Structure 1
Amino acid sequence: MTSRPSPLPRVVVLGGGLAGTLAAAALAPHVGEILILERDSALPQTPAPRARLPQAAHAHTLWAGGADAMEELLPGITADWLAAGAHRIPIPNGMVSFSPAGWYRRSWDPTHYLIGAGRDLIDWAVRRRVLGMPNVELRTRTKITGLAGDGARVRGVYAEQAGQDGRQAAQDGQQAGQDAYGSPGLIEADLVVDATGRNSKSTRWLLDIGGPEVRETVVDAGVRYASRRYRAPEGTETDWPVVHVPADPREARPGLFATIIPIEDGQWHVSLSGTRGGEPSSGEELFEEFARGVRHPLVADLLARAEPVSGVSTYARTANRRRHFERAGLPKGFVVVGDAATSLNPVYGHGMSVAARGALALRGQAARRPFASAGFTSRAQRAMTRPAAAAWLLAVGQDRFYPGAIGRRPNLADRLSARYVHRLAHTATGNAMIVERITDVVTLRKPAGILAGPAVLLAAALGPRKPLLDGPELTAREQEVLARPPLRSPHTASATDTDTDTDTDTDTP
């Protein structure tokens, strides 16, 4: 048994990923001790890949709302990212985006931003700051086997510590087996935070102690990712825009997406994705061919002038999955954060921002009332659900419409909402105020309700103030890159390669 020597509250966080470390940062000012339990044998000391985070091989978007929240939790974290080579990309003028309603203009004044960086770099900078806090401890090679307590209160967790066999298995790149762990031990806590990601076992653990059954909603468009890193063409290593060609959910065909995000080390992180029936291959020679098949070939044209520096990684665990812990009547002393509560189709880039906004909400609740007080758990869970619910609506509002999507089919309200969203996108092609309001919502800086305000409704009724662009609005430097001779000719073979999936994330301690 691990007892608690400090009279101040002790928090146990399950999972040392981004959601877990942000939750630790949020709670650290209000507790005596935070113990982060992680199943990995070690967490990288540099911006290097984690064995249990294969989705890090794919492009990630850290929107302004998420970056703002992380900066508030960890002052100076933005400077850390930039010093390590990340880019602060202004929006809208730093983004070339072909919306379903047309090309967005880039001549408006910047109002928002995003951080262009690899997921490994973002996680590393956060982890380094959090683990440097004097009351935060990390314990690796720890497997959680269940919750301690009952349906009224969680008092800790049962855990098994990996022995020498477990360490050797981890060094060999294998998952440690059941027999590599020691006998179960109780780790006491005043608050347990589940940050174990999509593979969370909390719904089962709660039932095991007589807790509530948690309802789950799933919307799955069958999205599959294929990603690759490229060396940016000479002269484009800095001040390069994000290039994004999304699908149009109104088309009666699988949705195809292509995105370039400038990241550290003078590289582009390129992610291609397709919904069920239009999935990309893992074949390297087919990567750029797929990019040429999206709604506009701009991404493919740029890639033909850049040099790949990695193979192709694929990932297919992309269902939108919402576990309604906020409605379940959780026992005291237990909350769920990040993907363990709401996991989203990553094509919309909201996972990191939702985790950060949720952690900020958790900090607010911890500052108002003790963990043991009546209502802390329910209030904290509801507060963390609000940013997740906003991102959920943005994702499923599109994913429901793709062919073969699993989950409730679109009803009349869904169809009317989708029509209004498309009208807003159409208006945004020529109205700076609507661009700013949409970006407020997409970046999670403001709630979606602002899109129903009187000024927005009037602007949507009037439509765009400027004519539609007939192509992307590119700078002279961007046009010069496209004018260079391509390094490779377009590939014309059919997509018949055998795929190799890497979607094996097992981020559960």
Structure 2
Amino acid sequence: MAEGPTRHALVLGAGLAGSLAAAALSRRFDQVTLVDRDDLAADVVVRRGIPQARQSHLLMGAGARAMEDLVPGVLADLRDAGAHFLKAPTEVAFLTKYGWLPHAPHEEYVVCCSRDLLDRVVRDRVLRRHRIDLVAAHDVVGLLGSPTAVTGAVLRSRGAGASRTVTADFVVAATGRSSRVASWLHDLGLPQVPDEVIDAGTAYVTRIFDAGLSSGGRPPAIVMIANVTGDAVGGVLLPIENGLMTATMIGMRGSEPPTGDDEFLAFAKQLPHPGIADALAEAEPVGPARGFRGLANRRSRFEALPVWPERFVTVGDAAAVLNPAHAHGMSVAAFGVAELAAAIDRMGNAPGLARRVQRAVRRRSRDAWDLSVSDDRRHPQVLGPRPGPASRVQNRYADRITHVATTRPEVARALVNVIALAKPVSALLTPRLLWAAARGPDQRQRLEADK
């Protein structure tokens, strides 16, 4: 028997994107139901439904600000829970293939904590402040409706195995990188949604360490970006809650990091600078190394469908999966939900809303997608289209700006703004930055840095 009150919104997936979407919908709908496949009891720390949670995560300041607009007070909750808010590049050592970015004073920041902590803090505040019913330990079997409108979903209990239908006036799919949205839409009678995939074979291995610092100390934050045209090896060391730090070794097809505990430090010593390896040599491992594969860029071309069903939107990784080496996924999810919230505030649930929002979700992910795939396409063993002439020109300019940024603080700040999604890629094409690129690196600063 179908169930669901008038003005009912249904959100499929209670990860970061789903929790934010539930908060946005609760401002306009009488009731919101938030569904997740995992057991979300307070004593359950590790979520099997987010396998990438064991890896290092960075939340860009732009994404954090979007989250705060959707869920006021959530950033204070994260601070109280032990998340670190670090100015970038001031408090983050950032090694490019041309050298270190200068520690230039800047207002842009990143948030460092475990993914489990971030998701739990956001979800707890959303459930505490909004009219939302949580339905945990349920799989989504499929959607209800037709090619022209979605009217709910079919859920199945993971414990009892019983299925039920839940009707709704609006449905949001935030079902993550393993989403079956395309299949569900096909089952409703829509054509198969084509995927766009760029796969450089990125692989992660992460291990958590206790830095052994006294109370009030903070582990270092170091980001070493892989040179995709060379050995394609990089690493990240980030502080997380409880005095711990998370270290991730990054490789690409042909240079994947080993997953064994004994090989972890050996791989760290292969990085282009000894900073991470030196920090790990003095730290105590907490748990085993954990690998993660399947980190291709993939987005579904929903705009290719002849019609888009009313009352249905997909957000977060269910709409576009980005190579996590660029640390943009959580911010892009927040941007997409912000578009949903703004559209509902303007239009209510008027006809055409869903298609307009879906297009806006894609548009807000465009810069992050372009940054990720333009880099990954340069890898010699990438699977997917190779860069064309225009992309090669853009890549040469990006290399030039990055090189100049290592010696000119004002360029470093501008580059960080784009990397952190605080400014569009076009912000690197101002007359001031074009002139800086033409001048090249400041050789005096280069000599000082090399001393």
State TM-score, norm by structure 1: 0.84
Distance 2:447 2:35 in 1: 53
Partner of 1:19: 17
Deviation at 1:327, TM superposition (A): 4.1
1:74 to 71, 74, 79: 71
Distance 1:426 1:323 in 2: 34
Distance 1:292 1:318 in 2: 23
Alignment of 1:157 with 2:153, yes or no, is: yes
2:217 to 229, 238, 243: 238
Deviation at 1:89, TM superposition (A): 0.6
* Matched position secondary structure for 2:27: helix
Partner of 1:55: 52
Distance 2:448 2:313 in 1: 48
Partner of 2:389: 412
1:354 to 327, 332, 338: 332
Distance 2:217 2:268 in 1: 23
Instruction: Verify the 8 A CA contact 2:102 2:408 in the aligned structure 1.
Output: no
Distance 2:172 2:119 in 1: 18
Moved over 4 A (4+): 468-474
Deviation at 1:3, TM superposition (A): 2.7
Partner of 1:4: 4
Map 1:292-441 onto structure 2 (within 5 A). Answer: 292-328=269-305, 329-371=307-349, 373-441=350-418
Instruction: Verify the 8 A CA contact 2:213 2:219 in the aligned structure 1.
Output: no
CA distance 1:44–1:417, shift in 2 (3 Å): farther
Distance 1:200 1:152 in 2: 21
Partner of 2:110: 114
Distance 2:438 2:212 in 1: 43
Instruction: Verify the 8 A CA contact 2:233 2:271 in the aligned structure 1.
Output: yes
Listed as ranges, the gaps of 5+ residues in structure 2 are none
Percent identity over paired residues? 38
Deviation at 1:472, TM superposition (A): 7.4
Instruction: Verify the 8 A CA contact 1:96 1:472 in the aligned structure 2.
Output: no
Distance 1:466 1:44 in 2: 57
Distance 1:133 1:287 in 2: 43
Distance 1:466 1:122 in 2: 42
Can you list the C-alpha shifts for 1:437-470, whole angstroms capped at 9, x where unaligned?
2222111122212122222222211223454547
CA distance 1:32–1:24, shift in 2 (3 Å): same
Instruction: Verify the 8 A CA contact 1:87 1:117 in the aligned structure 2.
Output: yes
Instruction: Verify the 8 A CA contact 1:102 1:469 in the aligned structure 2.
Output: no
Deviation at 1:84, TM superposition (A): 1.2
Deviation at 1:236, TM superposition (A): 8.8
Distance 2:312 2:236 in 1: 38
Partner of 1:451: 428
1:34 to 16, 32, 37: 32
CA distance 1:470–1:266, shift in 2 (3 Å): farther
CA distance 1:247–1:75, shift in 2 (3 Å): same
* Matched position secondary structure for 2:247: strand
Distance 2:448 2:182 in 1: 49
CA distance 1:45–1:326, shift in 2 (3 Å): farther
2:97 to 94, 100, 113: 100
Partner of 1:219: 198
Instruction: Verify the 8 A CA contact 2:32 2:133 in the aligned structure 1.
Output: yes
Distance 2:219 2:209 in 1: 14
* Matched position secondary structure for 1:311: strand
Distance 1:326 1:233 in 2: 51
Instruction: Verify the 8 A CA contact 2:213 2:243 in the aligned structure 1.
Output: no
CA distance 1:118–1:467, shift in 2 (3 Å): farther
CA distance 1:93–1:129, shift in 2 (3 Å): same
State TM-score, norm by structure 2: 0.95
Instruction: Verify the 8 A CA contact 2:310 2:353 in the aligned structure 1.
Output: yes
* Matched position secondary structure for 1:367: helix
Distance 1:404 1:236 in 2: 46
Instruction: Verify the 8 A CA contact 2:401 2:437 in the aligned structure 1.
Output: yes
Map 1:257-296 onto structure 2 (within 5 A). Answer: 257-296=234-273
Query: CA RMSD of the aligned region, Å?
Result: 2.0
Distance 1:142 1:231 in 2: 36
Aligned residue identity for 1:18? L
Deviation at 1:38, TM superposition (A): 1.2
CA distance 1:250–1:222, shift in 2 (3 Å): closer
CA distance 1:355–1:305, shift in 2 (3 Å): same
Distance 1:20 1:467 in 2: 50
Distance 2:355 2:285 in 1: 48
Can you list the C-alpha shifts for 1:82-135, whole angstroms capped at 9, x where unaligned?
1111111111110111111221111x2122111111111111100101112342
Can you list the C-alpha shifts for 1:11-58, whole angstroms capped at 9, x where unaligned?
111111111111111221111111111122x21426821122221111
Distance 2:52 2:450 in 1: 31
Can you list the C-alpha shifts for 1:334-360, whole angstroms capped at 9, x where unaligned?
111000110111111111111111111
